Structure 1
Amino acid sequence: MKTYTRVLTIAGSDSGGGAGIQADLKTVSALGCYGLSVITALTAQNTLGVSGIHSVPPAFVAEQLKSVLSDIGVNAVKIGMLHAPDIIRVIADTLTGFGVRTIVVDPVMVATSGDKLLQDEAIDALKTHLLPLATVITPNLPEAGVLLNRPLNTFTDLQQAAADLGRQYPGAILVKGGHLHDAESTDLLYISPDEQILFPTKRIDTPNSHGTGCTLSSAIAAGLAKGFSLREAVNQAKTYLTGALQAGAAYQLGHGHGPVHHFFSIWQ
């Protein structure tokens, strides 16, 4: 019998379909993997912003996770919006209990619209319980600044942030440069002091950037699930996201920040 390459996303639901669980499942499907999900929160959300967040009880988050891991299993896990500290702790405990080792953590704190998605008290829980388990952590510049408790504004700040986070956590760090204003959007993958890789990409002028962080981290998880090296997984993910941004720029959906085109290589 054939087997699927299984990628589990643990994140919040985006009713607008551009980010969160919906973006994650679209991404891993487009990249040839079987998507599974554990929903941590429901959001009332569209291209203009987030109007409400309903957190899932931690015990039920754990029940979803145990149901997937005890029967189907996973090749990789992507973790996005977690919202509350109790949810973070129960996820970390459950993943540790099942011996899950390939984990991509996107420390989602603020939506593209600027709406806050993570409670303040959850940041310490994230640092203490979950980030030490990660194979790779994928903060953007503002998120890296929150994790380090200092403002980050330049590419030099980005480089230093990657090194500082790399010393704090055992996994690799991918600090994303999309919030800089350079002609290129350059991400830095910090694996060790002797192995740091730049991923420069031409910046795409489009308002349709909703869900880019979710999409990139899910694409990295898909690559790792397939057995790619971390460098290969990040490179594939960057190429996929660039294609999705370029294709999505031609569309209009809603009246704010539209989504990228997750199925650009499939739809005609």
Structure 2
Amino acid sequence: MSAEGTRTAFDVAEFETAVTDADEARLIETIADGIGRLRDQIDDDTLDEVFRAQPGRYTMRSDFTRDRLDPEPLTQNRVIEPLLDALGYDDYGSEAGDFSAERGEQADYAIPLRDIEGVDSSRLLIEAEPINKQLENRGHGLDQVESWLSQREFESDFGFATDGLRWIFVRYDPDSYTHSIIESVDLRPVFLALFENATTEQRAPTAALSDEHRELVSTLLRPFEYGNFVSIIDDAREVIKKKQEA
């Protein structure tokens, strides 16, 4: 069921975030490693089509893989979870089992936020989809996350929706019953560039990307890296209040 309320877009520049060269390099290497893990199961011609396709087209399927693997766990294990590690989330999923059993719905990942001072939300919820699954489809991706956040028994104001290539960060404001898109990032050009490098020149991943590609990596890090995420959720209520009063 779609969540009620409207969506508000944010400029991440409204929040205090930081990205270092080391952060960029770590994420680039992680993406390159993930591509290598995908190539272990998917032939290069198919993977090339996957990375070139628009969202919702050429969605990952089990018959793309040599061992007919389930596409969602494949995406999680080989792309999403390594990226969460690189982004600094070291205890994702620790609540997912008990949480889903209690509520009757399952978040792919539930990251505790209780120990962050000044943040009312108890957890960050993350919905993972197979690569190239349309994140805006009803009942999936972003719609699923917004539905969870609207249900106050979930005790969460923050969620991510991702297929590994696209990442959407949404915040729910319980005072106005609205959802705010903090950031939406499409890393497909980065994945494609690193895939092409792996299948041709095989340069170091950090040397294979253009300035535009590196800026996309930074765009992901600014809101999604754990330290930046904490800074954003700490400031979010005040920023929303100012936007509503403007």
TM-score bracket for this pair, using the shorter chain length: 0.3 to 0.5
TM-score of the two chains, using structure 1 as the length reference: 0.31
TM-score of the two chains, using structure 2 as the length reference: 0.33
Largest Rg, 1 or 2: 2
Q: Which has the higher strand share?
A: 1
Q: Which has the higher helix share?
A: 2
